[in-house]
Amino acid sequence: MAYLRRVRCKRVYHSMGLHLLKPTSMDDFEPVEAKVPVDNPVSFFRAHGRDFFVCCADFQTRALVLVKPKEMLTFKGYPFFREALRRQAEELLVIPFSQLAGVAAEVAEDVAHVNTIFVHITLRCGSTLLIKALEASGQMHTLSESDVYANISRYVLSKKAMPEDVTEMLLELIRHINTLFNYSLLQTDPSKTITCYKMRGQVFLIADLLRKALPEVKTVLLYRNLLGTVDSWAHVMAERSYWKYWLITALRLDSFYLNNLLHWAPNSPWDNPVFRCIPVPHGVVWLATFIWLEYMQKAHELTKTDAHQCFDVILRYEELCKHKEEMVAKVIESLGIQCVDEDTKLKIREVFGFNSQAGHSLASRGPGRGESWLGQWETGIISKILDHVNYEEISRPDFVLNGTMTQI
């Protein structure tokens, strides 16, 4: 049965750190009061859906968890929606999967006119920058990184085989989540009838499943070259201090940081016999290269025969930073949205002038970026890894996917 429960976020999630990478779960909340049964979740969501946002999926109890935050208007100040929702949680609405169809059907008509965009990423690729630029267009609701899709991705990756009935259950769940999310966002500003969801990196691995569930949704894939990705990971690990990075890697201490970073990885490199045996230091360069190759293999698989079968727009961080508002305008146009005017382009350009993740432990170097930390030692490790794994299709750090938007 569906129920309400007043809760508070556990104290650990109020402090900054790499522990925040862990996808949200029911265990992240402490009960404040007893459960209150919701006899009719359909009518309840109709009346109160504007106050609750989809938070996570619990596959042990087979229930969807929605959160009522304390402060609705402060989400814009956070680079990641998942963290804001977790920290500000005041009350949970827990709906069993078996009751979602009725709830979604109740509000489906309300959001039938809403167009949805999914932004998929391959990690450390400027996606927060892109989502801020799309938001500056003033044409859409944007939401950066909900954990519910990461929960689904983890569930899928934990399965060695996917029976047909499980696949159908997941497809229906994805459709219901999209309906409920769109309804909640639409209530905050009915004038915006486009919703744009930036996915967490792990979700990219089920991009084809999401496409199958919601073929009408427009999709964007953003990725970055290998050297820039590894350099960005190094900055995060060393908290943007080169001397800390130099000391950690010189003393081979970076291996102790890897467990905190594995929340980003689709699989563990230690479980991969090829990667486990590569004769290079098993530190941050090794891990970041492994994850980049895992994602690029999946991206190549989804784009090699038909670039736009799964993604409507494919672009790289490099072209996004080079062309700025012109590239964002082209992305918007390619998604079938009315072209932005000159004033809107100026607003988008302003986004490129500040750090979109400023103040966060995952913050990049921002608009100044500066020189790369990667020298001969790091590039030598990367070259050895690429030679050792011998992926014929993805043999270069600057590999470009079929269908990538490189010109404006």
pLDDT in tens, 298-314: 999 999 989 899 999 99
pLDDT band, residue 405 (cuts 50/70/90): very high
Confidence check: pLDDT of 65 > 90: yes
Question: Residue 50: helix, strand or coil by DSSP?
Answer: helix
pLDDT in tens, 88-106: 999 999 999 999 999 999 9
Mean pLDDT over residues 234-245, rounded?
87
Separation of alpha carbons 157 and 155, rounded Å? 6
Q: What b/e string do you get for 203-226 counting C-beta neighbours within 10 Å, with b at 16 or more?
A: bbbbbebbbebbeebbbbbbbbbb
> What is the model's pLDDT at position 145?
85
Separation of alpha carbons 37 and 163, rounded Å? 33
Residue scoring higher pLDDT (293 or 264): 293
Residue scoring higher pLDDT (324 or 139): 324
Mean pLDDT over residues 103-112, rounded?
97
Mean pLDDT over residues 332-353, rounded?
82
Residue scoring higher pLDDT (78 or 139): 139
Looking at the chain, the number of H-run helices and the number of E-run strands are 16, 11
pTM: 0.93
pLDDT band, residue 168 (cuts 50/70/90): very high
**Ranges of each domain in the chain:** 3-112+141-191
> What is the model's pLDDT at position 23?
86
Residue 370: left (phi > 0), alpha (psi -120 to 50), or beta? left
Length of the chain: 408
Mean pLDDT over residues 306-329, rounded?
93
Q: Token pair of 240, please?
A: 């943007």
Confidence check: pLDDT of 112 > 60: yes
pLDDT band, residue 74 (cuts 50/70/90): low
> What is the model's pLDDT at position 346?
86
- Answer for the pair 405, 393: CB distance below 8 angstroms, yes or no: no
